Structure 1
Amino acid sequence: MTALGPVLVVTMIDDPTADLVISELHDRGVPVVRLDSGDFPATLSFAARLTPRGFDGTLSTPTRTADLARVRSLYYRRPSGFAFPLLTEQDARFAVTQARYGLGGVLASLPGCLYVNHPHRIGDAEFKPAGLATAVRCGFRVPPTLVTSDPVAARAFARACGPVLYKPLSTPLYRIDGVSCTVEVGEVTADQIDERVAGTAHLFQQRVDKTADVRVTVIGREVFCVRIDSGVLDWRTDYDRLSYTVAEPPPGIVESLHRYLDHFGLVFGAFDFAVDKAGAWWFLECNPSGQWAWMEPETGLPMVSAMADLLERRTT
């Protein structure tokens, strides 16, 4: 790997966070190749040959070509999925699989490349039960939690640990009247839990009697803590009600953050905490691909610069 190699930014076309980071890298004279893996094979092509030190070859977009052996870092954000609309359903399914394991496998195997984050490590960290179990081992406070498909167990948990929240284990998008929506976090009682729980897996968690939330963004070794005051259960449902304040983490939090990321092999994470009336921070989740750039104008924290430092490899 040579310092002259480009940064690959793998994301969808509409990504304001990536736009800010790319602009910062351009201002520094760092070469960038932006691509969406979903553009393959229409406007994206590659040829990768296995060598003793890994894959060598090229990846080409309509405006850029990257030498795969010289990529200094790969910023993996939120690319769109592979799609082959002109093929039959069976042929498209085959083509998607080949693209995922072919192009996806090459992008995950670049020699000397710093991944922010590695797509396979992102996949591991997106399993909420694994994240919660790791958070406990790393020393975070974690609310009592039940993952179940058993209505009897769910009702018993709600009675014993109420007030209880229902949280989706993942966040698939729904479209209602053409508008993208997600399943919201909501409070539930034992009486509201019925046999439909047996239809799939559910996550129930004791509600923290919180006074505020904190979003902690870790970029390499840099830690940015922002207190979010909203007065609502889930601050992501009403951004107009949010106010932001730079926060200082309690003792031990920073060390636990890095232990958590090291466990999953990540160098970036967006952590969410609830702050109770005693000032204690309760771990809720860590998103390995979370959003963060909207907080910089609100707080003045140099987050874009920190991400550019990491991708440029000033900090490694």
Structure 2
Amino acid sequence: MAAGGPPVLVVTRVDDATADGVITELNRRRVPVVRLDPGDFPTAVKMNATFNGNGVAGTLSTETRTIDLGDVRSVYWRRPTPYAVDLAMSEQTARWAVEEARYGLGGVLAALPGAHYLNHPWCNRDAEHKPAQLAMAARCGLNVPPTVITNDPNQARACAHTHRPVLYKPLRETEYADTGGRALTVWIEDVSPEQIDDRVRYTAHLFQQRVAKTADIRLTVVGENLFAVRIDGSPGVDWRRHYDRLSYTPIDVPAEIATGARAYLDAFGLAFGAFDFGLDPDGSWHWYECNPNGQWAWFPDDLTARITAAIADQLQYGGTA
């Protein structure tokens, strides 16, 4: 496709460094880009969408750009901020207005005719649920460690006894803060049967057998491109806590893993996915999860550049690259 032409719409917040890298690459290729954060609606975003027998038409405007809804080449759905609340509204009215924005603007952004999505927001939503991930990974032939999701303390303790050593994993990366407002992270942790008490009954918990791993693997899939990186150096079970100690080595992807990963993404309608695996001493890959909107830009520059180019290809050529 020649330079110029229909724009790529990047849906994300202003401080998204990962999207910045992709936008820089698209600018280098002279592909038009419009960046929009739904959290700026309605203050700094104006929507005029029409629907009739000819389909969807109209415009979306930010403070600096206007795009034709029928002329969007691709949508890169990244990390938008939540829809904004007008502080002058009552609590009930504000909730209503936010939901109207979510289903109005959000619905329009999800219905752009002919646009290639990486990924479609509704596909992301469906693929974020851990139970659905676990079931789909097994269906696609990936090796899933024994896992229990429960609010029954007795069942949780039985899992910890039967499959020890066992890890606790959060079901979602939900924002959490202490009493002073400081952001906290709920990490993956080892858990023993003795640590499990009756508080388990208050919500759902995920317990999973810990893989006897020699390394971690991050497999980033962009369309038909697979980028596997072996991660060494983590002293604990959650390598995200030890970025300063990690080393990264590109590795080949076994054929059965490539087949399973592609089948997994196809089943959820995804063009992008960030898979995490554990590598055991026998060389087997054990599936942990797939983040449909996972990060990848912390890798060394040579690895990041390859993923950036693959994503830019998807957005520039509409998924045909």
Question: How many Å separate the matches in 2 of 1:187 and 1:223?
Answer: 31
**1:299 and 1:15 mapped to 2: Cα distance?**
19
2:215 corresponds in structure 1 to: 212
Match of 1:60 in 2: 61
Distance 1:298 1:4 in 2: 29
C-alpha RMSD of the superposition:
1.5
Q: Deviations along 1:94-126, whole A, 9 cap, x unmatched?
A: 100100000000111110011110000111000
- Code of the residue aligned with 2:79 in structure 1: it is R
Partner of 2:253: 249
Deviation, 1:216, is: 0.6
- Among all aligned residue pairs of Structure 1 and Structure 2, give the percentage whose two residues are the same amino acid: 55
CA shift at 1:83, angstroms? 1.6
**One-letter code of the match for 1:132?**
L
Question: 2: distance between equivalents of 1:279 and 1:300?
Answer: 25
- 1:68-217 equivalences under 5 Å are 68-84=69-85, 85-176=87-178, 177-217=180-220
User: C-alpha separation between the residues in 1 aligned to 2:91 and 2:74?
Assistant: 35
CA distance 1:276–1:66, change in 2 (3 Å): same
**Distance in 1, Cα, partners of 2:242 & 2:132:** 28
Structure 1 residue aligned with 2:238, among 230, 234, 238?
234
Where 1:295 maps in the other structure, the secondary structure is coil
Q: TM-score, normalised by structure 1?
A: 0.97
- In 2, the alpha carbon distance for the partners of 1:193 and 1:239 equals 29
Tell me the secondary structure at the aligned position of residue 214 of structure 2.
Answer: strand
CA deviation string 1:160-192 (max 9, x = no partner):
110000001011122234432211111111111
Please say if residues 7 and 72 of structure 2, whose CA atoms lie closer than 8 Å, have aligned partners that are also in contact.
yes
Gaps of 5+ in 1: none
TM-superposed CA distance for 1:194, in Å, is 0.7
Q: Flag as ranges the 4+ runs of structure 1 deviating above 3 A.
A: 176-179, 298-301
Q: What are the ranges of 5 or more consecutive residues in structure 2 without an aligned counterpart?
A: none
Give, as a single letter, the amino acid of the residue that structure 2 aligns with 1:54: G
For the Cα contact (< 8 Å) 1:245–1:299, is it kept in 2?
A: no
Equivalent residues of 2:8, 2:33 under 8 A apart:
yes
Q: Distance in 2 between matches of 1:261 and 1:300?
A: 21
Judge conservation of contact 1:36–1:80 (CA < 8 Å) in 2. Answer: yes
Count, aligned residues: 315
How far apart in 2 are the matches of 1:253 and 1:179?
Answer: 39
Mean Cα deviation higher: 237-246 or 49-58: 49-58
For the pair 1:291 / 2:292, whether they are aligned, the reply is: no
Q: Match of 1:30?
A: 31
TM-fit CA distance, 1:82:
0.7
Change beyond 3 A, Cα 1:296–1:74: farther
In structure 2, distance between residues paired with 1:53 and 1:277 = 59
Q: Cα–Cα, structure 1 residues 300 and 74, in superposed 2: closer, same or farther, change >3 Å? A: closer
- SS of 1:82's equivalent? coil
> 1:161 is matched by which residue type in structure 2?
H
The match for 1:306 is: 310
